[in-house]
Amino acid sequence: MESLWLLIPLSVMLAFIIGVLFWWAAGDGQFDDLEGPGERVLQDNDGTPESVHNKTA
Amino acid sequence: MNIMEMPLVPTRDLFNSYTDPDTTRSCFHCGLSVLRDRKFGVLFDGRFRPLCCAGCEAVANTIMDAGLGDYYRERSAMPAADGILNNGGTSRRLTEFDLPAVQSNYVASTDAGEPKSTLFYIDGVTCNACLWLAESALKRVPGVASASVNYITHRAEVKWCDTKTTLAFIMDSVTRVGLRAMPVAAAGRQVSRAKERRTLFIQLGVALLAMMQVMMFTVPLYFTSADDVSHEAQRLMQWASLLLTLPVVLYAAKPFWQGALRDLRTRHLSMDAPVALAIASTFTASLWSLFAEHGALYFDSISMFVFLLLASRYLESSIHDRALSRIERLTNAVPAVATRLVGYPDSRESSDITTAALNAGDVILIPTGHVIAADSVLLEGVSEVCEVNEAIITGESRPVTHSVGSKLIGGTLNLGAPLIARVTRVGAMSTLASIARLTERTMGERPQLMALADRVARVVAPTLIALACIAGVVWFFIDSTQSFNVAVAVLAVTCPCAIALAAPLAYTSATLTISNSGLLIARGHVLEVLPTITDVVFDKTGTLSTGNFSITKILTADGITRDEALEIASALEMGAAHPIAGAIKKLASHNSVLIAQQLHLIPGDGVEGVIDGKTYRLGNRAFACFNTNDDDAFVLSREGKWLATFEAEDALKADAAITIFSLAQSGLTVHLLSGDRISRVKNVAAQLGIDDEHVSAAQTPSQKLAYLEQLRKAGRKVIMIGDGVNDAPVLAAADVSIAMASGADLPRLTADAVLLSSRLATIVSALQLARGTKRIIRQNFVWAILYNLIAIPLALVNVINPAWAAIGMGASGLIVVLNSMRLLRRVM
């Protein structure tokens, strides 16, 4: 049972850290668009605009 | 039908009417059929891909040149054809956005030297690849620092340097790839709403996190005896629960505190007040128990309660957002700049002015193809009659003919010669603004059942408070140590949560699901009335057909062949863009050498032209043959003598027959009222399997109204499906009216729901969902009432311990939420 004295405060701290991280991420707009980043990974395989210009030039 | 009143601006339907089923080649860009003799194309993956028109070729070339060919690999839907066709028209007007006064509306204020920030709405999107295309096109504009498209809201945030590029150039870059970018006004509502929504999301997340963690501490204790866990460990877990509940009470529950404060100020009790009271009392009681080291703790109940209520709020706000963004697009219809004639009528000197700066009484000039900037009265048209496409307001795709003195609506499109008009109403008084306002109002409407639930909850809440107090006092005399516990237990275990959520959440979920399927519900009572419907009335055959005409029959005079007649008609219709003209041109030989000269378009009647020195007319019978005997036929004449008659037919929607079959299957009587002639209506009814006794042709609006009244007098509940324009009074008389909208927004004023998709089957699934909603609400109520009937007496006699209070309250709410969520998951 002694382990509870460590684990419970730890879990509370963890919950608060997660809470702050979530607060920051949501405030930063990271949950505003849950579809876009996934699509971009699949589609945007052409690197920077410059390299594309070179490719098409 | 006056075929000449068809729009001069091509529409998608019209475009489809050019397609030829015999052709197997389809346009690489837009997917429409490619005419045999067209030579447009683009090289992709080393192969020549055919394209249907110069518009698609320009777009495809731009896409390939920019190295964005992946769009064609990734897309899952064809682009919207009108986006391509309107190409030339929009880019011409984009430069308006570079005027400083206009630009300032769309650019968020930034420090000098910093990139400017503008929000665009990307229109014409059909799949995710379109959004990627728009984003890539924006990023490739020199001077654009960053561009990011939100895949859910279709909004693009662009940061750009005004020294290197212009707003018009940025918008044009999107136009060139076949989409449209409309800047969204920087100031105002949607910014603060987005912020509000984000805050609500964080509060929801905090409550969820706290709820889960607090339950980790409390739930195991409910299932173990006190000996298993040492007293000290239990105390530790209780303190941990308090710590985790603090953010919930202080931060996540903020909307309820604010609501309760507002209630106190306005002395009008809403649901927020009892909710706040429940949170406050349970939290205080738990706090007191914690310090006094005996009594019940409700920390888990509090966080669960807050989470459940916030979840339903969040769901509701997402529906409101959807509706609001539609309103925003509507208000974007007004051009940013108007041309004002300062010295009218003495001089014709014109100057550009921002639309916002227009005042009633100003005289404005509206060039051909421009959008009318404000509600106004026509003073002068260069030609006798003017043509205005009022589709955005009325849903009527045919142009409306106006003469001097008639009213023009801001946001509509001038298709004819330049007009001069005097502004009558601006800003909040304008037609567009009032449509937006009314739409917003209907969003606030609640179905009767929901209002009833609110009232019940409002009565229940004070009753519970009183009950808790009485129980406390009674128990003070029985056992004073238990008095407070009982009072709090009564409050906690019977939170009006389940009752308050029973109806709203089910309605919210159903509304969201139905809107997603393409039926926008505009009035609160729709979902409530739909399950009781007994009759479905289709107003107009147009609601069942696609608007794609094809020529079914050609009658010719002696000495002229069918092909010759078609060739002449095709030459006369050279520049015309109405559906029947398209159907004729499709049938006619493409190798025709005939050229019509001195073409005159007589709006409402037809077209006149000279071929080989002879005057031909094509249009309604009165016009073509100088005959008073007018009918629906489309007639070709030479020097006033009849040559040929074309009969056109509108193709039925692909899912019309199955929709009517499923409606009949679910026990509904299907009616068809139409203003068309009997033979055509009978034909349509026969194809669709509608009983003859329920079909009425050649009906005037007042006859339709009488028909409807008769049905309703017989005790039938009627759903009316119309176009929402000419039939507005008829629609209004039905129990539920559905307007078939094609980008039009006025229907929302008169109709209870607007069918945005062209799928008729959506109506069937909406009916089914409405029935399901009714069932689920009934289940919710039965459960909530049953639960309270059992829980309250148990709490009153003090047999409910904290474990059961928490689980009971949480579960009763959760069951209601989950039961309602079933309406969300149902795939339509």
**Any idea which residue has 């205080």 for tokens?**
B284
Residues of A in contact with B150 (CB under 8 A): 32-33, 36
CB B206 to CB A23 under 8 A? yes
DSSP state of B185: P
Distance separating alpha carbons of residues B176 and B88, to the nearest angstrom: 9
Structure token pair of residue B338: 């108007």
Which of helix, strand or coil describes residue A34?
A: coil
B501-541 tens-digit pLDDT: 677 778 777 877 776 676 767 677 788 888 888 999 887 66
Check residue B435 and give its pLDDT.
Answer: 58
- Among A29, A49, A56, beta carbon nearest to B65: A56
Which chain B residue is nearest to residue A16, measuring alpha carbons?
B244
CB B236 to CB A26 under 8 A? no
3-state secondary structure B592-637: CCCCCEEEEEECCCEEEEEECCEEEEEECHHHHCCCCCCCCCEEEE
Structure token pair of residue B726: 């000419």
CB B132 within 8 A of CB B104: no
Q: Of the given ranges (B156-170, B437-451, B599-613), which has the lowest mean pLDDT?
A: B437-451
Distance separating alpha carbons of residues B574 and B590, to the nearest angstrom: 12
The question of ipTM being above 0.85 is answered as: no
CB B73 within 8 A of CB B84: no
What CATH topology corresponds to B337-428?
A: 2.70.150
The answer to whether A47 faces chain B, any CB pair under 8 Å, is: no
- Among B136, B140, B151, beta carbon nearest to A35: B151
The answer to whether A22 faces chain B, any CB pair under 8 Å, is: yes
CB B244 to CB A12 under 8 A? yes
DSSP state of B163: T
Selected for mutation to probe chain A from B128, B197, B218, B232 (highest A CB count within 10 Å) is B128
Biggest alpha carbon distance in chain A? 71
A15-48 tens-digit pLDDT: 999 999 999 998 888 887 777 777 777 765 554 4
Strands, E, within B109-154: which ranges? Answer: 116-123, 144-150
CB B151 to CB A8 under 8 A? no
Amino acid at B26: S
The answer to whether A35 faces chain B, any CB pair under 8 Å, is: yes
Length of chain B: 828
One DSSP character per residue, B772-825 reads HHHHHHHHHHHHHHHHHHHHHHHHHTT---HHHHHHHHHHHHHHHHHHHHHHHH
Task: Give mean pLDDT, residues B661-690.
Answer: 83
- Among A12, A22, A39, beta carbon nearest to B240: A12
CB A19 to CB B247 under 8 A? yes
Check residue B204 and give its pLDDT.
Answer: 93
Which position has the higher pLDDT, B518 or B329?
B518
B242: distance to nearest CA of chain A, Å? 10
Confidence band (pLDDT; 50, 70, 90) for B275? confident
Cβ count within 10 A of residue B266: 9
A38: distance to nearest CA of chain B, Å? 10
Which chain A residue is nearest to residue B233, measuring alpha carbons?
A4
Q: Of the given ranges (B32-46, B95-109, B552-566, B646-660), which has the lowest mean pLDDT?
A: B95-109
- Among B136, B150, B230, beta carbon nearest to A33: B150
Structure token pair of residue A13: 């701290």
Q: Of the given ranges (B86-90, B220-224, B295-299, B613-617), which has the lowest mean pLDDT?
A: B86-90
Structure token pair of residue B665: 């299957």
CB B152 to CB A33 under 8 A? yes
Residues of A in contact with B210 (CB under 8 A): 15, 19
Residues of A in contact with B128 (CB under 8 A): 35, 39, 43
Through-space distance between the first and last CA atoms of chain B, rounded to whole angstroms: 36
CB B240 to CB A11 under 8 A? yes
CB B177 within 8 A of CB B68: yes
B681-730 tens-digit pLDDT: 888 888 888 888 888 877 777 788 888 888 888 988 999 888 765 566 77
CATH number of B519-544+653-758, picked from 3.40.50.1000, 3.30.70.2740, 3.30.470.30, 3.40.50.2000: 3.40.50.1000
Distance separating alpha carbons of residues B39 and B21, to the nearest angstrom: 19
Domain B545-652 CATH assignment equals 3.40.50.300: no
Q: What are the residue ranges spanned by the domains of chain B?
A: 87-187, 193-322+445-507+774-825, 337-428, 519-544+653-758, 545-652
- Tell me chain A's radius of gyration from C-alpha atoms: 21
Average pLDDT, chain B: 75
CB B751 within 8 A of CB B731: yes
Structure token pair of residue B368: 């051909």
Task: Give mean pLDDT, residues B548-570.
Answer: 80
DSSP state of B371: B
Confidence band (pLDDT; 50, 70, 90) for B745? very low
Which chain B residue is nearest to residue A24, measuring alpha carbons?
B202
Task: Give mean pLDDT, residues B362-383.
Answer: 76
3-state secondary structure B285-338: HHHHHHHHCCCCCCHHHHHHHHHHHHHHHHHHHHHHHHHHHHHHHHHCCCCCEE
CB B8 within 8 A of CB B577: yes
The answer to whether A41 faces chain B, any CB pair under 8 Å, is: no
CB B236 to CB A55 under 8 A? no
Which of helix, strand or coil describes residue B12?
A: helix
- Among B65, B74, B152, beta carbon nearest to A43: B74
CATH number of B87-187, picked from 3.30.70.100, 3.40.640.10, 3.90.1300.10, 3.40.718.10: 3.30.70.100
Range among A12-26, B267-281, B445-459 rated most confident: A12-26
State yes or no: pLDDT of B641 exceeds 60.
Answer: yes
The answer to whether A43 faces chain B, any CB pair under 8 Å, is: yes
Q: What are the residue ranges spanned by the domains of chain A?
A: 3-56
Cβ count within 10 A of residue B325: 17
Helix (H) or strand (E) holding B554: strand B545-556
Distance separating alpha carbons of residues B439 and B450, to the nearest angstrom: 19
State yes or no: pLDDT of B29 exceeds 70.
Answer: yes
The answer to whether A55 faces chain B, any CB pair under 8 Å, is: yes
One DSSP character per residue, B661-713 reads HHHHHTTPEEEEE-SS-HHHHHHHHHHHT--GGGEE-S--HHHHHHHHHHHHH
Confidence band (pLDDT; 50, 70, 90) for B112? low
Distance separating alpha carbons of residues B593 and B602, to the nearest angstrom: 24
- Packing angle, helices B761-796 and B448-478, rounded to 10: 10
Beta bridge partners of B375: B425
Check residue B16 and give its pLDDT.
Answer: 40
Under 8 Å CB pairs connecting chains A and B tally to 93
Which of helix, strand or coil describes residue B191?
A: helix
Which chain B residue is nearest to residue A52, measuring alpha carbons?
B67
CB B213 to CB A4 under 8 A? no
CB B309 within 8 A of CB B497: yes
Interface of B with A (CB under 8 A): 65-68, 70, 74, 128-129, 131-132, 135-136, 139-140, 148-153, 198, 201-202, 205-206, 209-210, 213, 216-217, 229-230, 233, 236-237, 240, 243-244, 247
